[in-house]
Amino acid sequence: MRYLDHADPVITLTTGPVNAYAEVLRGLSRVVLYDHDPAFQLFYEKTVAKAQAAMRLSTKPVILQGEPVMGLEAAAASLIAADDVVLNLVSGVYGKGFGRWAKRHSPKLIEIETAYNEAIDPQAVADMLKAHPEISVVSVCHHDTPSGTINPIDEIGAIVSAHGAYLIVDAVSSFGGMKTHPEDCHADIYVTGANKCLGTPPGLTLMAVSERAWAKMKDNPAAPRGSVLSILDWENAWSKDRPFPFTPSVAEMNGLDVALDLYLKEGAEAVWARHALTAKAARAGAIAMGLSLWAANERIASPTTTAIRTPEGVEEVALRKAARERYGVVLSAGRGETLGKLTRIGHMGPTAQPIYAIVALTALGGALNALGQKLDVGRGIEAALAVIDAEVS
Amino acid sequence: MRYLDHADPVITLTTGPVNAYAEVLRGLSRVVLYDHDPAFQLFYEKTVAKAQAAMRLSTKPVILQGEPVMGLEAAAASLIAADDVVLNLVSGVYGKGFGRWAKRHSPKLIEIETAYNEAIDPQAVADMLKAHPEISVVSVCHHDTPSGTINPIDEIGAIVSAHGAYLIVDAVSSFGGMKTHPEDCHADIYVTGANKCLGTPPGLTLMAVSERAWAKMKDNPAAPRGSVLSILDWENAWSKDRPFPFTPSVAEMNGLDVALDLYLKEGAEAVWARHALTAKAARAGAIAMGLSLWAANERIASPTTTAIRTPEGVEEVALRKAARERYGVVLSAGRGETLGKLTRIGHMGPTAQPIYAIVALTALGGALNALGQKLDVGRGIEAALAVIDAEVS
Amino acid sequence: MRYLDHADPVITLTTGPVNAYAEVLRGLSRVVLYDHDPAFQLFYEKTVAKAQAAMRLSTKPVILQGEPVMGLEAAAASLIAADDVVLNLVSGVYGKGFGRWAKRHSPKLIEIETAYNEAIDPQAVADMLKAHPEISVVSVCHHDTPSGTINPIDEIGAIVSAHGAYLIVDAVSSFGGMKTHPEDCHADIYVTGANKCLGTPPGLTLMAVSERAWAKMKDNPAAPRGSVLSILDWENAWSKDRPFPFTPSVAEMNGLDVALDLYLKEGAEAVWARHALTAKAARAGAIAMGLSLWAANERIASPTTTAIRTPEGVEEVALRKAARERYGVVLSAGRGETLGKLTRIGHMGPTAQPIYAIVALTALGGALNALGQKLDVGRGIEAALAVIDAEVS
Amino acid sequence: MRYLDHADPVITLTTGPVNAYAEVLRGLSRVVLYDHDPAFQLFYEKTVAKAQAAMRLSTKPVILQGEPVMGLEAAAASLIAADDVVLNLVSGVYGKGFGRWAKRHSPKLIEIETAYNEAIDPQAVADMLKAHPEISVVSVCHHDTPSGTINPIDEIGAIVSAHGAYLIVDAVSSFGGMKTHPEDCHADIYVTGANKCLGTPPGLTLMAVSERAWAKMKDNPAAPRGSVLSILDWENAWSKDRPFPFTPSVAEMNGLDVALDLYLKEGAEAVWARHALTAKAARAGAIAMGLSLWAANERIASPTTTAIRTPEGVEEVALRKAARERYGVVLSAGRGETLGKLTRIGHMGPTAQPIYAIVALTALGGALNALGQKLDVGRGIEAALAVIDAEVS
């Protein structure tokens, strides 16, 4: 048999959109309330409070009504003024992309760029800040998803904070899947999403904004106002006594509310642990069956994505096609510069379960062998199992 | 008994967010597919084709990943260039608001403004275009929801088309509830939404773009690109062979797909008929019980919203509060200039059913009497019933 | 317009199947667990505990895997032995029907039968028990739904208990909508359902069984065992440590669990109050518009069903057809002897909201007038409103 | 990490209850219609027609409102009269169990019994019928689920048909997952369910009844009537013009309707193929990793269940507990005589996907190794993969 293009696959193990928790999908079907209805306003305020708890914030987070790409664009547009000097840290495609947004708002852009399978060295940041005391905004992508690699944002954040610059963090695909919180890394704007590790469908941005970032945005005449790109418009929208700037995505909010309940009930530490274990099993299995990780070393490999280098002589599109056709398993491609060079297994939200590492390894190994490779899939499965079994407490 | 603020009301008869069809709410719970998965790409292409059929378009519509406020802002930003002379037609709060977006992109803004319970006179448009041959863009709101009034866009569109200017139409809360299509009114950009009359939760914009509008936007260097506000980025997103500019709102698309199926299956004419009949019954009932319509005359009263003038001496907030507390029925307030002056009953999608006119009239009448008015609610109900009974074919 | 047969109606206000709460419908979609899975066994035990709380029982209730008709048949088959003398109290079609089941298991059946719009007089029961000390089992239907009338089971129960006979109570369509609990009426077997006032789809029986009823059933060699009609098989199924006699209806259990949460959270007294108020408004409205109640007096009219006598010269089928075709509102017919003689409005679970009394009265009055009656519908609505307004606390 | 008892497992691969298709679970949430509503009556008639198509029947199937255990008990009670001589064919726990029901209705029971890992030999049936020409009813279980073995019912049916006896077939866990239809095996009563291979939650029986079986039941005065165990009561319930004997399980019917749509749309042959391939991969993998199948030979191993013999020295309960705790995977135990002796992997409906054979083998192998076995799990996975890859067309 062969899974057809028009039929849904059996298991989707991508890096986004990520399938949502079944409970969240059901939550989307709640009745749609009027956004001025007191029941909705109370609900919205409570959901924001849950997001605040999940983000371990001392202030109210902002929920923007669009995928995190909206949040990142809005952050650049709101926080970066024409006279800012921006240091953008680049270890992958997403980090690089943020630089383009930054440049729209200020011509003075400095970048530190590593190879796309490496991570930013905090010392390099410290050195650069010393060399350029005029740097006023620093931006960094925590988990550069197209590479599956993690930057040390808590360390970087401490350095930036000491320097006094504002820090913008893209934690879209790391938050909720590993230990990271806006205040841990001294972020002034910290952007994450409801999809990815929270396990809600794509369509909402969660954003932490520091007190001084609010002040800077208010001082910035070019910061969007009266716009879907505005952060300022939403400053007080969390309060049941304040109207929304425009109609919020009610169904997505209903889903997010369930997702936050799940996260808080399972317990952050338990959620992170199953992301970490799934990724560890995936890495061990991939290596054991004869594949190479994309990440230069395991220390910087993300617990929410495992990126595996495409073996010599393999066409990456054919690889994913074979995995889907033969086993009904969908994996993610690379993106931009990493496209074709790697295949990614997502471990996010509902798919961050060790058994899915087995599924992914089987599909990946089987597909590669179908394309003529000679991988020892069985050995890979055993190595993954050994990792899982070692962590049975 | 008294319905409490924190409990869901029994029936929501607002003008947006509007409750969604039960089938659509269930549709939101479909599994979330990867946006590069062939099954999702085929699905997306098919859904766009359904939207095209519903909009009776000869070209592919664009679906933007945000509430129609995003579509309207994007239309202004993309189509209006610095050297355009814009004629904005204002018969209400939403029409007026569009002028502010227009002004951001071109300083040359001319407006025709009527009282907010009147409609634009096509002759006035013709006269203005004659007087100002330099006008290059005209914008008009079809159904100015805060007033519940309809502008004659097909007539206006013919005049604008003859003049040669580009036409931007806001048909957010009329499309799907009455006879209106982009090509009927010669619109160059026609913006509507998935919420309102299609009965999907808020979160998506449907947009028709004429060939010459595509060309004008491409020529406009200031038109957003690489932005959530970009229309251009989505030009070819409908095709299963083209990637999305960023992750679409998968769940909302799943819901829209069901909503379009419902609309096409019931048949547009049948859908419009129940919107029209519900509104007609609501108007007859309101008048019979001693209330006044906001609209200067019934001809311009919307089939999707009935706006009723707040009686002398009544606090409008108290009115809606009483309707909710006593009967569990939620109605809409006015907005901006119409706030406090009127109460609105939505007849959109699942609530465009004549029996809901009875529910709304009862709640409205009962609430007003509780505030000391002396309305003859019974007479109102009988008048509404007479309208409904008269149209039993 | 005219609602077509094949299209779903707008509002269903029947006496069963009753539409379910939206939350319950979503609950049905929970993943289906294996019935031996510890998570399911814990869930089942918890749900039974919630049912016990709702029924205010000192023992564990039994949940049978079928509509309450299964529970009633099982009660007769299990409790009534060949040598029992059964007194069956008949005030309607359902009470009468139970006698036929009773007769299958014991030839000695005595009945007290009232007109089907009257209630059983407790004194008559006391007299009969005195005259027939050999009576060992008494059966009574609390709410004889085809009549919409209530029997005084707490009083009857006290008399039966003093006599020492076993009492079987059919509380299918009263429990959850008014104050009634198994131990309040000294029931030995008390049968209710998940549909009706709890607002779950039909498919489950909730049953209370007294200690002495368990003993009597165990002593009865003819009591079903190893059968879907067995009560005995389910005695310990509530315990997470005991297997189920056969596969339970997992989805229905998921729905029931949500329904019990809703009931316990809203608070029994609040739930009963909205049932009572809805019925009171319906009765007042019906009388004011010129109709007659079926119940001989309002004291015995059920808070969960309002039965209205079919006016002279009206064909009842045509009446309900007109209500559905014109207004999209579905009402219930009579049944057996009451068929054609009355129309019933259900006030159960999600439809026990006063605004639905208005909907029902409008549809009923409008339909009757369409058939040539001359009812004052407006006066009916005003009378119903007056009842609702009088109880705003 | 360790999956806790109270948390839902990740993947359930049992033999019943089986998880339902996601589309079916959503279908359960459809609005609950009144069972006398024309829309429901039309819907019910259409759903029965779909069941008829799926069962490839020339007559209307009956849908009983309970798990198939109800259908089997009802079949015995309705068809077997006191003077019937019944031949019950026993190759497992379920076949044996049917004999007990048969014996309730006729004292004359003959059995052919094989070892519980063997299948019935058609020749033995032919010989027995020759030896006992008085045999008037034959009963057989197609797939004895507690053994995971298949009896050759088409061959047996031809023999029984030639003899002239009535044939009762239990195809509960085979229909929908392999080629079997009531008329292929000359069944007079053929019982299957909505759960198992159709992928609906448990709660409904689908039953085919031959013309002569209807006649025999009508002639049988002891056949249940006016009972939830009655088949006769439902003879005409499929017709939109006939009332239901009692309230049907509306939500379950809504789910079944979706399940039948899925089955007919995917195509029976395609559905059977993925069941067969999943089972074949599971068997190959189990053998390759060093385990033994329960079935005496692969020819009689079911395509819907793979039963694996518990290795010497292993406690079967501990095995399934380890699979759940370590990997979140739930498998089925044996039942009755097979309890403890085997573990079962279900391949039914949504779980009949080859990738789930990998999941099951990994969980089973990992769990056994955790209990001290020395299985070569990797080899098992490779063997299963080889089976899957060999059938890529």
pLDDT tens per residue, range C279-314:
999 999 999 999 999 999 999 999 999 999 999 999
The gap from C-alpha A300 to its chain's centroid, in whole angstroms, comes to 15
D365 neighbourhood in chain A, CB within 8 Å: 385
B32 neighbourhood in chain A, CB within 8 Å: 12, 17-20, 25, 195, 201-202
Chain pair B-C, CB pairs under 8 angstroms: 105
* CATH architecture, domain defined by C31-265: 3-Layer(aba) Sandwich (3.40)
Q: What type of residue sits at position B117? A: N
Strand, coil or helix: A91:
coil
| Distance between B89 CA and the closest CA of chain C, angstroms | 35
Q: How far is B208 from D69, CA to CA, in rounded Å?
A: 57
Phi/psi of residue D289, each to 5°? -85, 0
* A189 and A168 Cβ atoms separated by less than 8 Å: yes
Distance of CA B231 to CAs A78, A203, B71, B141, B166, Å? Answer: 21, 18, 8, 20, 16
Q: What type of residue sits at position C127? A: D
Strand, coil or helix: B65:
coil
Chains touching D (at least 3 CB pairs under 8 A) are A, B, C
| Distance between D321 CA and the closest CA of chain B, angstroms | 29
Handedness of CA D332, D333, D335, D341 (dihedral sign): positive
pTM for this predicted structure: 0.97
Kind of pairing between the strands at B205-209 and B62-64: antiparallel
Chain pair A-D, CB pairs under 8 angstroms: 105
Between chains, do D353 and A10 touch, taking CB under 8 Å as contact? yes
Nearest alpha carbon to residue D143 among D175, D183, D97, D102:
D175
| Distance between C24 CA and the closest CA of chain A, angstroms | 11
List of residues 6+ apart from A219 with CB closer than 8 A: A81
Mutate to test the interface with A, among B10, B233, B249 (most CBs of A within 10 A): B249
Distance of CA D315 to CAs D117, D362, D372, D373, D375, Å? Answer: 20, 18, 11, 12, 16
Between chains, do D392 and A2 touch, taking CB under 8 Å as contact? yes
* D18 and D196 Cβ atoms separated by less than 8 Å: yes
Residue B74 has pLDDT above 90, yes or no: yes
∠ CA(D228), CA(D69), CA(D264), 5° rounding?
A: 100
| Distance between C128 CA and the closest CA of chain B, angstroms | 42
Residue B132 has pLDDT above 90, yes or no: yes
Mean pLDDT taken over chain B: 97
> Residue B62's pLDDT is what?
98
Residue B393 has pLDDT above 80, yes or no: no
Give the residue-averaged pLDDT of B64-84. 98
Chains touching C (at least 3 CB pairs under 8 A) are A, B, D
Q: Where are the beta strands (DSSP E) in C183-289?
A: 189-193, 205-209
Confidence of residue B277 (pLDDT cuts 50, 70, 90): very high
Residue B356 has pLDDT above 80, yes or no: yes
> Residue D203's pLDDT is what?
97
> Residue C384's pLDDT is what?
98
Residue A393 has pLDDT above 90, yes or no: no
Confidence of residue C201 (pLDDT cuts 50, 70, 90): very high
Q: What type of residue sits at position C125? A: V
Q: How far is D339 from D116, CA to CA, in rounded Å?
A: 12
C29 neighbourhood in chain B, CB within 8 Å: 29
Number of neighbouring beta carbons within 10 Å of residue B136: 21
Nearest alpha carbon to residue C362 among B281, B350, B276, B303:
B281
> Residue C222's pLDDT is what?
97
B30 neighbourhood in chain D, CB within 8 Å: 22, 26
pLDDT digits (tens, 9 = 90+) for D23-37: 999 999 999 999 999
> Residue D140's pLDDT is what?
98
Burial of residue A68, with CB atoms counted within 10 A of its CB: 0-12 exposed, 13-18 middle, 19 or more buried? buried
Chains touching B (at least 3 CB pairs under 8 A) are A, C, D
Residue C391 has pLDDT above 80, yes or no: yes
Give the residue-averaged pLDDT of A254-275. 98
Counting residues of chain A whose pLDDT is more than 70, the rounded percentage is 100
Instruction: Return the exposure string of B256-279: e unless at least 16 CB atoms fall within 10 Å of the residue's CB, then b.
Output: bbbbbbbbeeeebeebbbbbbbbb
Residue B165 in tokens: 């200017």
* D388 and D290 Cβ atoms separated by less than 8 Å: no
| Interface residues of chain B, partner chain C, Cβ below 8 Å | 1-2, 10-11, 29, 270, 273-274, 277, 325-329, 353-356, 358-359, 362-363, 365-366, 369-370, 376-382, 385, 388-389, 391-393
> Residue C376's pLDDT is what?
98
Residue C393 has pLDDT above 90, yes or no: no
Does the model's ipTM exceed the 0.90 cut? yes
* A151 and A124 Cβ atoms separated by less than 8 Å: no
Nearest alpha carbon to residue C230 among D221, D104, A142:
D104
B31 neighbourhood in chain D, CB within 8 Å: 22
Confidence of residue B138 (pLDDT cuts 50, 70, 90): very high
Mean pLDDT taken over chain A: 97
Confidence of residue D346 (pLDDT cuts 50, 70, 90): very high
Handedness of CA C275, C278, C280, C282 (dihedral sign): negative
Confidence of residue B162 (pLDDT cuts 50, 70, 90): very high
Chain pair A-C, CB pairs under 8 angstroms: 10
Between chains, do A1 and D366 touch, taking CB under 8 Å as contact? no
Between chains, do A393 and D274 touch, taking CB under 8 Å as contact? no
Counting residues of chain D whose pLDDT is more than 90, the rounded percentage is 99
> Residue A259's pLDDT is what?
98
Q: How far is B12 from A385, CA to CA, in rounded Å?
A: 53
pLDDT digits (tens, 9 = 90+) for A80-118: 999 999 999 999 999 999 999 999 999 999 999 999 999
Confidence of residue B389 (pLDDT cuts 50, 70, 90): very high
Contacts 24+ apart (CB under 8 A), C69-73: C69/D228, C69/D246, C69/D247, C70/C205, C70/C228, C70/C229, C70/D66, C70/D228, C71/C172, C71/C191, C71/C192, C71/C193, C71/C205, C71/C206, C71/C207, C72/C98, C72/C101, C72/C170, C72/C172, C72/C191, C73/C101, C73/C229, C73/D227, C73/D228
Burial of residue B138, with CB atoms counted within 10 A of its CB: 0-12 exposed, 13-18 middle, 19 or more buried? buried
Q: How far is B368 from C385, CA to CA, in rounded Å?
A: 12
Q: Which of D29, D358, D388 sits opposite A358 (nearest CB)?
A: D358
Residue C292 in tokens: 């007659």
Q: Which of B326, B382, B393 sits opposite C1 (nearest CB)?
A: B393
Biggest alpha carbon distance in chain A?
A: 64
Biggest alpha carbon distance in chain D?
A: 64
* A280 and A386 Cβ atoms separated by less than 8 Å: no
| Distance between A29 CA and the closest CA of chain C, angstroms | 7
Q: How far is A123 from A127, CA to CA, in rounded Å?
A: 6
Give the residue-averaged pLDDT of D110-126. 98
| Interface residues of chain B, partner chain D, Cβ below 8 Å | 22, 26-27, 29-31
Between chains, do B1 and C273 touch, taking CB under 8 Å as contact? yes
Residue D393 has pLDDT above 80, yes or no: no
Q: How far is A202 from B314, CA to CA, in rounded Å?
A: 44
Residue C222 in tokens: 């003819």
pLDDT digits (tens, 9 = 90+) for D171-219: 999 999 999 999 999 999 999 999 999 999 999 999 999 999 999 999 9
| Distance between D255 CA and the closest CA of chain B, angstroms | 13
pLDDT digits (tens, 9 = 90+) for A322-339: 999 999 999 999 999 999
Give the residue-averaged pLDDT of A309-319. 98
pLDDT digits (tens, 9 = 90+) for C148-175: 999 999 999 999 999 999 999 999 999 9
Tell me the domain boundaries of chain C: 11-19+267-392, 31-265
Give the residue-averaged pLDDT of C324-332. 98
A31 neighbourhood in chain C, CB within 8 Å: 22
Residue of chain D minimizing CA distance to A388: D326
Q: Which of A26, A30, A31 sits opposite C29 (nearest CB)?
A: A26
Between chains, do A379 and D376 touch, taking CB under 8 Å as contact? no
The dihedral over CA atoms of C301, C306, C312, C318, expressed in degrees to the nearest 10, equals: -160
A366 neighbourhood in chain D, CB within 8 Å: 385, 388-389
Q: How far is B219 from B307, CA to CA, in rounded Å?
A: 42
| Interface residues of chain A, partner chain D, Cβ below 8 Å | 1-2, 10-11, 29, 270, 273-274, 277, 325-329, 353-356, 358-359, 362-363, 365-366, 369-370, 376-382, 385, 388-389, 391-393
Confidence of residue C349 (pLDDT cuts 50, 70, 90): very high
Give the residue-averaged pLDDT of D73-82. 98
Q: How far is B123 from C304, CA to CA, in rounded Å?
A: 60
Residue of chain A minimizing CA distance to B199: A32
Does the domain made of A11-19+267-392 have the CATH classification 3.50.50.60?
no
Between chains, do B29 and D26 touch, taking CB under 8 Å as contact? yes
Handedness of CA C275, C60, C206, C217 (dihedral sign): negative
> Residue A338's pLDDT is what?
98
Give the length of chain A: 393
Contacts 24+ apart (CB under 8 A), D260-267: D260/D47, D260/D50, D260/D51, D260/D53, D260/D54, D260/D198, D261/D50, D262/D21, D262/D23, D262/D24, D262/D199, D263/D54, D263/D176, D263/D198, D264/D50, D264/D53, D264/D54
Q: Which of C12, C228, C330 sits opposite D66 (nearest CB)?
A: C228
Give D192's DSSP letter: E
Q: How far is D207 from D59, CA to CA, in rounded Å?
A: 11
| Distance between B20 CA and the closest CA of chain D, angstroms | 14
B381 neighbourhood in chain C, CB within 8 Å: 362, 377-378, 381
Cis before D221? omega within 30: no
pLDDT digits (tens, 9 = 90+) for B296-312: 999 999 999 999 999 99
Distance of CA A292 to CAs A308, A310, C388, Å? Answer: 6, 8, 72
Distance of CA A15 to CAs A195, B76, D341, Å? Answer: 10, 34, 42
A22 neighbourhood in chain C, CB within 8 Å: 30-31
Secondary structure element (H or E) that encloses residue C251, with its range? helix C250-266
Between chains, do C30 and A26 touch, taking CB under 8 Å as contact? yes
